[in-house]
């Protein structure tokens, strides 16, 4: 079972309750279920819970993935479809309880593709509205940007990933920041060490 919430202010309880209700209704032993969860954006796939779930699928210990809603897997079509394709090729059944979708067949795969396209479109609309709101605030002189010293991701995390051998593009994808921000974080690290 996979649960994802976007930030720590949210709770997993409602997702867990609906998944448990589905499991009970379909005769699954809830004592033997493996739970994987993330507290992170769905915009990138390199989340620790998702990585652990993929490893368990690869090892063959997971045969069914149940999610509250398909956009918990990913918020963009490419990552979502790639994950589902990989899982389905491995013989894994994927169920979305609130959408009442069982992706165990060809029609299920088609439906998943459409739903991920809608989720990605929704995310793009959110970004467009945010950009329009920022522009309007700037035009009024209200918006001055992010406060100095705040970051979208922790520079230390970028440095850790770089030390593990990841390239700047991979770090940018993992942290959901731009490559130029990664370069700035890494440059600051080198400057601090001197």
Any idea which residues carry the catalytic annotation? Answer: 6
Contacts of 110 (CB under 8 A, 6+ apart): none
78 phi/psi in degrees, rounded to 5: -60, -50
Residue pair 188/58 in contact (Cβ under 8 Å)? The answer is no
Give the pair of three-digit tokens for residue 69. 């809603």
Contacts of 69 (CB under 8 A, 6+ apart): 96, 97, 98, 99
Is beta strand 101-102 parallel, antiparallel or unpaired with respect to 93-96? antiparallel
Give dist(CA 182, CA 178) in Å, integer.
7
């Amino acid at each position: 079972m996979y649960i994802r919430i976007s930030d720590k202010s949210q709770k997993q309880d409602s997702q867990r309750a609906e998944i448990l209700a589905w499991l009970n209704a379909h005769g699954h032993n809830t004592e033997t279920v493996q739970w994987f969860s993330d507290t992170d954006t769905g915009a990138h796939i390199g989340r620790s819970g998702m990585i652990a779930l993929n490893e368990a699928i690869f090892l063959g210990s997971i045969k069914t993935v149940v999610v509250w809603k398909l956009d918990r897997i990913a918020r963009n079509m490419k990552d979502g479809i790639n994950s589902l394709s990989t899982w389905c090729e491995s013989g894994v059944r994927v169920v979305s309880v609130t959408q009442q979708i069982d992706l165990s067949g060809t029609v299920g795969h088609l439906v998943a593709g459409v739903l991920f396209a809608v989720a990605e479109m929704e995310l793009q609309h959110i970004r467009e509205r945010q950009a329009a709101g920022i522009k309007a605030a700037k035009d009024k002189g209200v918006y001055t940007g992010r406060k100095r010293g705040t970051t979208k991701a922790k520079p230390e995390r970028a440095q850790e990933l770089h030390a593990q051998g990841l390239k700047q593009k991979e770090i940018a994808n993992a942290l959901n920041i731009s490559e130029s921000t990664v370069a700035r974080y890494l440059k600051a690290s080198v400057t601090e060490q001197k």
